[in-house]
A and B are shown apart, each in its own frame.
Chain A
Amino acid sequence: MSNLVIAAVRTILTQSTAVTTLVPSSRITSAYRLDVGSLPAIVLAVQSDIALSPSLDRQDQVRKCSIDIECIAGNLGDSRTIGEAVRVSMHGAKGMANSTTIQEIRENGITSTYDIGAEGTETGIHITVVTVDAYYASAAVNPTSIT
């Protein structure tokens, strides 16, 4: 299910004009980004996807998917500006996207790092990571009987 949540988060970002004004939709991706790719860009990555409502009868379905939204730019100011736009658009976002009902998305912290680049031909990049928690209802389980 976390793949659907990632897709839903990407949909929310691409539907935010505040975000797409800073970063074109084509550069908001959950795929890899080339070291020489155009900047700025946003890359999504799942950190964890945990059960939030374990119950004795196994009917628990609410899960929390923690996602890092990496806002990449050539300087710290631009990177932080994108991160702030992401925070504003994501915190409290809810609804249905990609057939997945997102109960609520909560922003859970922002950090910034500078990646100097490993190769001599690479330029350094500033990465502002906005961590969000997406609360969603997963599909009901259908346990297999072990025989």
Chain B
Amino acid sequence: MAGVSGFGSTFTFDGGASANIISISMDGAKLTAIDITTIAERHRTFTAGVIDSGTITVEANYDTGGGQSKAWDQISITAASAAPVAKSFSISAGGAYTISGSGIVTDFSTKIGIDSVLTVSFTVKVTGALTIADTA
């Protein structure tokens, strides 16, 4: 089937599902291409370097039930006594596929505006490899 609705997608961090999510974006894993061209060659040649699994940004409507508390707790100044460490995360994309791995919350912000609900967003830097699996 070509095309799957994103409704029902979820983001789980450290075992806690974030609620009221309005978007999940992943900037993509990147592999460094190392230039190994020599002066004897007419065309550039490369070899594969290391893979950066990328960053995931989650936007959500502020949840009065603490639906974003797992991400907030990790970066909160008030919780600084507990040093942030990588936690497991999982994305369920519309029931079509899942992306899972380990990451660290690096940003947490909120937006307050006229004629809109309170929103929060947080960024997870992925560490290590990603696991992508079809579920449909």
Chain A positions near chain B (C-beta within 8 angstroms): 52-60, 62, 64, 133
Q: In the complex, which residues of chain A have a beta carbon less than 8 angstroms from the beta carbon of B115?
A: 64, 133
CB–CB B117/A56 < 8 A: no
Q: A58-B8, A59-B67 are in contact. List 7 more A-B contacts (CB 8 A).
A: A53-B20, A55-B21, A56-B21, A56-B22, A57-B10, A60-B20, A62-B117
Please, which residue of chain A has its CB at the minimum distance from the CB of B60? A55
CB–CB A56/B9 < 8 A: yes
Q: In the complex, which residues of chain B have a beta carbon less than 8 angstroms from the beta carbon of A53?
A: 20, 22, 61, 117
CB–CB B6/A56 < 8 A: yes
Chain B positions near chain A (C-beta within 8 angstroms): 6-10, 19-24, 60-61, 63, 67, 115-117
Name the contact of A56 in the complex, choosing from B8, B63, B116 (C-beta under 8 A).
B8
CB–CB A52/B116 < 8 A: yes
The CA-CA distance from A8 to B19 in the complex, in Å, is 29
The CA-CA distance from A62 to B20 in the complex, in Å, is 11
Interface centre among A57, A59, A133 (most CB of B within 10 A): A57
Q: List 26 A-B contacts (CB under 8 A).
A: A52-B116, A53-B20, A53-B22, A55-B19, A55-B60, A55-B61, A56-B6, A56-B7, A56-B8, A56-B10, A56-B21, A56-B22, A56-B24, A57-B8, A57-B9, A57-B10, A57-B19, A57-B20, A57-B21, A58-B7, A59-B19, A59-B20, A60-B20, A62-B117, A64-B115, A133-B115
